[in-house]
A = this chain, B = another copy of it.
């Protein structure tokens, strides 16, 4: 049973000191490795690990091609300013290959997880010689595993490390007693800039979760452009989360006076406390129209834009 530390009870300085000491004690004079996604959890783990181990922590950022516009460089630049070197590994081809022909949402998530752990990160871990792996698991992830909403895999099996050989490998999960609010507080105390510790939630499968149907390079380029527009326009609205979703359905449009079966972008923007229930944000209609017209103008092939008006439940925050 994991003992929760609520945001209310959290003393960040004490927490950081404890975790830094625990990491040092566990790793000893060895090496540790972690994967940074640019999300809050992995960013905080990177800072904790760096404080504990300095250059004995190897932090890799896997460019899976499913990221938001300019993401790998943006994240690496932020950490560089904080004195942390981030190694960017280009694995775009491997992910696209793994996603080819898959339309089922569960299979899509599974393909990304498998490619990440088994193929790409697993290979890096095995080749690195590091026996300690830092992970940003938080208490909510554990809850969700118990509730069966997300499927947990044995991490070693995922990494392609034979259970027979796991002796000596150790996974460190310094954030496992915290929830998101506690993680954000810790991130702030560790000196992360606000754009990192207060970032809106972003799904693990990244832009693949924003594409209905098969994920292709062309569709990734479309949804990436639309996402940049939506995030820029809705960033100041105080919403819990906001996103652009590329539909697989083709809808009729007109380009240069001719019929054109084009693509549709759905925009979702949510008001929510904890993602368990959510309502569409009452955005000003003028903003909705402006957003639509910018998307129609700047994103190739898109002829239609909609705004979500359903609540969760029965809707969900993400569409995939």
Contact = CB atoms under 8 A, between A and B. Distances in A.
B292 A253 contact: no
Contacts of A149: 259
Given A282-B285, A304-B310, A307-B309, 4 more contacts: A212-B250, A254-B312, A259-B316, A296-B310
Interface of A: 105, 149, 212-213, 247-255, 259-262, 266-267, 279-280, 282, 285, 288-289, 291-293, 296, 303-316, 318-320
Contacts of A285: 282
Contacts of A282: 285
A319 B289 contact: no
A316 B296 CA distance: 13
B306 A266 contact: yes
Total identical chains: 2
B308 A305 contact: yes
Contact of A306 (B308, B311, B313): B308
Main secondary structure, interface of A, reads mixed
B105 A314 contact: no
A315 B248 contact: no
Nearest to A245: B251
B252 A249 contact: no
9 contacts: A149-B259, A248-B249, A252-B316, A252-B320, A260-B314, A266-B306, A292-B310, A304-B308, A306-B309
B311 A251 contact: no
A201 to B, nearest CB: 15
Contacts of A291: 309
A318 B303 CA distance: 12
B252 A318 contact: yes
Closest 7 CB pairs of A and B: A306-B306, A292-B309, A251-B319, A254-B313, A305-B310, A282-B285, A288-B309
A203 B172 CA distance: 62
A253 B313 contact: yes
Nearest to A106: B259
Given A251-B212, A291-B309, A261 B314 contact: no
A254 B212 CA distance: 17
A154 to B, nearest CB: 23
A109 to B, nearest CB: 11
Contacts of A251: 212, 315, 319-320
A254 B314 contact: yes
Contacts of A288: 309
A314 B212 contact: no
A316 B253 contact: yes
A306 B254 CA distance: 21
A7 B259 CA distance: 29
Nearest to A289: B309
A296 B309 CA distance: 11
Nearest to A320: B252
Contacts of A254: 312-316
Nearest to A317: B252
A213 B253 contact: no
